[in-house]
């Protein structure tokens, strides 16, 4: 009878593999990192690793899923904020703070490059991006329906601009992230059709 696999143990092992692969991809690059190096980093045989992730592309997709969870967590925080504008500024500040982690920046750039080269990875990254943009636009529309956002504001346009800003901040190191807050607040308030507060 086959041994049953504890779902929590499996999820923990998957996470450990993705974290190790992410570190190696950031350090060496996606194409310069072999599956053998990943196996060594997590103390697994190739056969064991392939039971979790059948290819390096599957590893990249797994890393994108982790990034998706983080991004949706950012939006949860925006949704929970009493003020949409303030929540969005906090989200952008968090993106800027990520730039303090050179490993994370290197990994994000490598994932983006692989998405350009590999259509399957590109499709997966694009789907995650669409989900984020659509949910962000939904938050803007919800605030619009409450009169907190200008009635003529293009919610999808705002979501696209804020997403592009978040990506840029996540790969542009700033010595003093908090110093960006007034400029980001002015930008966000302008996009939302709100007067300065």
Q: What does each of the 197 residues of the chain score in pLDDT, given as a tens digit?
A: 455 678 888 899 999 999 999 999 999 998 899 999 999 999 999 999 999 999 988 999 999 999 899 889 999 999 999 999 999 999 999 888 877 778 888 888 888 899 999 999 999 999 999 999 999 999 999 999 999 999 999 999 999 999 999 988 888 777 788 888 999 999 999 999 986 55
Residue with tokens 């994932």: 111
- Phi/psi for 130 (5° steps) reads -60, -40
The pLDDT of residue 1 is 47
Q: In angstroms, how far apart are the furthest CA atoms of the chain?
A: 67
Q: Which domains does the chain have, with CATH numbers?
A: 60-191 (1.10.357.10)
Write the CA distances from 152 to 1, 143, 190, 191, integer angstroms.
63, 13, 12, 11
Distances (CA, A) of 104 to 19, 23, 101, 172: 11, 8, 5, 12
**127, two tokens:** 């789907």
Specify the DSSP class assigned to residue 180: G
DSSP at 149: S
Which pLDDT belongs to residue 10?
87
Cβ contact 149:119 at 8 Å:
no
Nearest to 152 by CA among 162, 141, 160: 141
Q: What is the pTM of this model?
A: 0.85
């Amino acid at each position: 009878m086959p041994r049953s696999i504890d779902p929590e143990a499996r999820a923990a092992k998957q996470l450990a593999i993705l974290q190790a692969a992410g570190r190696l991809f950031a350090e060496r690059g996606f194409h310069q990192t072999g599956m053998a190096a990943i196996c060594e980093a997590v103390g697994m045989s190739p056969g064991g690793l392939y039971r979790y992730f059948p290819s390096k592309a599957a590893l990249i997709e797994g890393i994108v899923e982790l990034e998706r969870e983080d991004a949706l967590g950012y939006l949860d925080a925006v949704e929970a904020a009493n003020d949409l504008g303030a929540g969005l500024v906090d989200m952008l500040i968090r993106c800027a703070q990520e730039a303090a982690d050179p490993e994370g920046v290197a990994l994000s750039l490598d994932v983006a490059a692989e998405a350009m080269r590999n259509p399957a990875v590109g499709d997966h990254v694009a789907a995650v991006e669409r989900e984020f943009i659509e949910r962000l636009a939904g938050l803007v529309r919800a605030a619009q329906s409450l009169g907190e956002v200008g009635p003529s504001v293009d919610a999808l346009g705002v979501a696209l601009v804020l997403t592009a800003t978040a990506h840029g901040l996540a790969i542009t190191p700033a010595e003093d992230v908090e110093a960006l807050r007034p400029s980001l607040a002015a930008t966000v308030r302008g996009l939302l059709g709100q007067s300065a507060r």
